[in-house]
Amino acid sequence: MRILDSENDQTRSEITLFLTTSELAQLYGLLGSMVNDIRAKEIMLNDDSFDHTLKVFRYSPSESVGFSSRHKRVLEHDE
């Protein structure tokens, strides 16, 4: 697991996430589709006001094709 704070360009070791029931249901559905469709490598969930965004990427340590150089550094070195 890697957590990147995109606004500050820093990795984090822990986050706390607060979701409404509706947001949780959306995330559950999106994660389920990501598990079932090997082509899906990214999902994004926004709140109703689009002020907050949650991005989730599926990755493999042996394959980083399609990720930016910054994302690759996060995946390889967690920095």
Which pLDDT belongs to residue 2? 92
Low-confidence ranges of the chain (pLDDT < 50): none
Report the candidate in 39, 2, 44 with the shortest Cα–Cα distance to residue 26.
Answer: 44
* Long-range CB contacts for residues 45-53, cutoff 8 Å, separation at least 24: 47/23
Which pLDDT belongs to residue 64? 77
Which pLDDT belongs to residue 13? 94
Between CA 71 and CA 57 the distance in angstroms is 10
Which pLDDT belongs to residue 6? 92
